[in-house]
Amino acid sequence: MFLKYPSKTHNREIPIRHLVPNFITTLSLCAGLSAIHFALKPDWDRAIMGVIIAAVLDGLDGRAARLLRATSKFGTVLDSLADFLAFGVAPAIILHQWRLGDKEAMGEWDFIGLAAVMTFVLCSALRLARFTAAAKPSKPGTGPSRFFVGLPTPAAAAIVLIPAMIKESRLLEAELPLYVVIAHTFFVALLQISRQPLYSFKRLRVHRRAIVPLMTVVGLIVVCAIKDFWATLAGLAFVYLLTLPFSITSYRKARASGLESAPPPAIVPDDAQPVG
């Protein structure tokens, strides 16, 4: 058996609640595979949507595991494998099939497009492998950090697909120059394995006075998404990327005030949570 849970009766039965996080992770894996399938057809809208659905499911499996107290080493490894396929391999194949592998567009420089998507996949794999190797149970009384170390893979998948989203947008429908797409892919890839802090919204706190304006902003985002989903999603991903300078400043202030400790060397926390 892959899963071993303590039982007073020592039987082989497993409570169904312990399998719920694994079911969600499996759905995320299937969404990543579907993204690859539609990228090869090609059907860009559905391919990108597969990655987005996988990101939503990835945000649910860890929370379900903690809520149901069903974490396990098997779940941690399965989650990392699903993340690698959905947020590493799938976006790279989408970009390759979309433009970076186009012989006519790239000409004799098509190897640069291959190098870009390959770098993205390798950086995703390295990030997730380092997390899996360093994953430890959380200590009682300790919450998640306010910062990621480097760019988490779900966010990297959304950000690296911004050029494709802009192209698929009904309002923008713009095709960025190839050199911009290539440079963007390299930048996002390297940002995943960097040591730069980026905001994590797991411990985000909002002042009471900001609740109503925030709800208004959320409503406007929903309206924009109904009007043009891809332009809205590309804008949100780009805004998160633009928070990098502010997150670096906030992290340094938090370190100076003792609110944040220095991240351990060669460890990438908070990327994929241990799931059951």
* CATH number for 223: 1.20.120
Task: Look at residue 186 and tell me whether its pLDDT is greater than 50.
Answer: yes
Find the mean pLDDT for residues 126-148.
69
d(C-alpha 245, C-alpha 252), whole Å: 11
Does residue 204 form part of some domain?
A: yes
- Looking at residue 259, its pLDDT comes to 63
Q: Is residue 198 part of a domain?
A: yes
Q: Give the Cβ contact number of residue 62 at 10 Å.
A: 22
Average pLDDT of the residues of the chain: 83
Domain presence at residue 267: no
Which one, of 174, 156, 176, 171, lies nearest residue 224 by Cα? 171
Q: Please tell me the predicted confidence (pLDDT) of residue 74.
A: 82
pLDDT of 32 above 80: yes
pLDDT value at residue 151: 93
The answer to the question of residue 2 being in a domain is no
Looking at the predicted structure, is the pLDDT value of residue 265 above 70? no
More confident residue, 272 or 37: 37
151 within domain boundaries: yes
Ramachandran quadrant class, 48 (left: phi over 0; alpha: psi -120 to 50; beta: rest): alpha
Give percent above pLDDT 90 in the chain: 50
Per the structure, the complete domain to which residue 218 belongs is given by 16-136+144-253
Higher-pLDDT residue of 12, 221: 221
Q: Does 257 have pLDDT greater than 50?
A: yes
pLDDT at 275 exceeding the cut of 80: no
pLDDT given at position 135:
63
Q: Which of 53-62, 83-92, 157-166 has the lowest mean pLDDT?
A: 53-62
Give me the mean pLDDT over the 72-100 stretch: 91
For residues 135 and 249, the model is more confident at 249
Paired residues of 198 in beta bridges: 148
Any idea which residue has 């202030």 for tokens? 253
Work out the pLDDT band at 276, boundaries 50, 70, 90: very low
Q: Per-residue pLDDT tens for 207-217? A: 788 888 889 99
For the chain, percent of residues with pLDDT exceeding 70: 84
Buried/exposed 95-105: b ≥16 CB within 10 Å, e otherwise: bbbbbbbeeee
For the whole model, what pTM was predicted?
0.84
Number of domains in the chain: 1
Per-residue pLDDT at 82: 94
Q: In this structure, is residue 83 part of a structural domain?
A: yes
User: Is there a contact between 229 and 154 (Cβ–Cβ < 8 Å)?
Assistant: no
What pLDDT score does 261 carry? 59
125 lies in some domain: yes
What average pLDDT does the segment 159-172 reach? 93
The per-residue pLDDT for 183 is 95
pLDDT (average), residues 76-91 = 93
In a domain, 106, yes or no: yes
The residues that bridge with 199 in the sheet, in sequence order, are: 147
Mean per-residue pLDDT for 124-144? 70
